[in-house]
């Protein structure tokens, strides 16, 4: 029986991912690389990385990257896209980056309807710096800075960025996906592809939030971390399309 042959996407270089076992960033990188290959845009794409674990993306891809200060990716991507509208420009950001230090940048890039694609990897924690509480950390979740669990009255409530950004007039497309099961990984790839296709068709701002595991920061072995996504994370961060318009409003 003829089978499908799977190779390494040409958008990736030969380096082995250096993420912790079970980290979601490697899966998201792979999906992104496949999408860039399949759309045939590798030589025309510029990525804008973030400060955080997945910010190492620039080291694994065979495409041009900018590496701005923490949280500033949407502002830098705006500049690049406006100077070179012929290029496909995306940001790759974590939840500490996009939902904390870079909140202003993402909200205003979205409101302006910049013709960008944003990949938002929400693992509910500051992974790189040692597992501190992020704005996205769930109520009750234990972290290095909430050792008794996040308390909504004391620490504040977790923030749902996709729901919030979908309300903004400049936004074309917002979807939240995850990568805990094969079918959902395929759905995540479809959403990423749509986010890039929107930019190719000049439809404006697209954001794909990927709910992703950080086994180290969550203090769980990888298989338990993947189980936690369905059991604890998705009831709060519900999957789905939050906005899908046919271009700018
Ligand atoms: C201006 C500035 N403030 C703080 C830091 C420290 N810092 C580095 S990564 C990080 C958190 C990153 O978390 P997230 O964006 O969720 O990425 P993850 O590592 O979880 O993928 C912080 C606070 C920094 N490098 N620069
Ligand atoms: S600390 Fe978390 S986000 Fe960072 S590489 Fe390890 S598992 Fe991934
Ligand atoms: Mg994070």
76 pLDDT above the threshold of 60: yes
Average pLDDT score, the chain: 96
Is this model's pTM higher than 0.95 or not?
yes
The whole-number average pLDDT for the span 4-11 is 85
Half-sphere exposure of 189 toward its Cβ, with a 13 Å CA cutoff?
Answer: 16
Which one-letter DSSP state was computed for residue 90? E
Q: Which residues surround ligand 3, an ion (CB under 5 A)?
A: 94-95, 123, 127
Helices 182-200 and 24-39 pack at an angle, to 10 degrees, of 50
Nearest of 99, 105, 98, 136 to residue 214 by alpha carbon: 136
* Nearest-ligand number for the alpha carbon of 222: 2
Average pLDDT over residues 216-241: 98
- Write down the pLDDT at residue 161: 98
Residue 140, pLDDT above cutoff 90: yes
Which pLDDT does position 6 carry in this prediction? Answer: 77
The CATH architecture to which 24-244 belongs is: 3-Layer(aba) Sandwich (3.40)
Measuring from each residue's beta carbon to the nearest atom of ligand 2, which residues come in under 6 Å? Answer: 19-20, 23, 25, 53, 123, 127-128, 214-217
Question: What's the pLDDT band for 1 if we cut at 50, 70, 90?
Answer: low
């Amino acid at each position: 029986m003829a089978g499908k042959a799977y190779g390494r996407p040409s958008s990736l270089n030969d380096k082995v991912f250096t993420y912790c076992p079970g980290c979601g960033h490697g899966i998201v990188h792979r999906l992104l690389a496949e999408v860039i290959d399949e759309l045939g845009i590798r030589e025309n794409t510029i990525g804008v990385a973030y400060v955080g674990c997945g910010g190492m993306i620039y080291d694994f891809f065979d495409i041009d990257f900018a590496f701005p200060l923490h949280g500033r990716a949407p502002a830098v991507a705006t500049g690049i896209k406006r100077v070179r509208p012929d290029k496909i420009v995306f940001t790759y950001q974590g939840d500490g980056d996009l939902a904390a230090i870079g909140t202003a940048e993402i909200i205003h890039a979205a409101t302006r309807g910049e013709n960008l694609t944003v990949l938002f990897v929400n693992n509910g924690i500051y992974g790189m710096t040692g597992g501190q509480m992020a704005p996205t950390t769930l109520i009750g979740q234990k972290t290095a800075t909430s050792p008794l669990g996040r308390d909504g009255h004391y620490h504040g409530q977790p923030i749902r960025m996709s729901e919030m950004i979908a309300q903004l007039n400049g936004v074309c497309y917002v979807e939240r996906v995850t990568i805990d099961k094969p079918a959902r990984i395929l759905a995540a790839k479809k959403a990423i592809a749509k986010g890039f296709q929107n930019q190719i068709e000049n439809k404006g701002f697209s954001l794909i939030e990927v709910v992703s595991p950080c086994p180290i920061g969550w203090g769980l072995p990888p298989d338990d971390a993947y189980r936690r996504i369905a059991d604890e994370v998705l009831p709060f961060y519900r999957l789905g399309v939050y906005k899908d318009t046919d271009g700018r409003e």
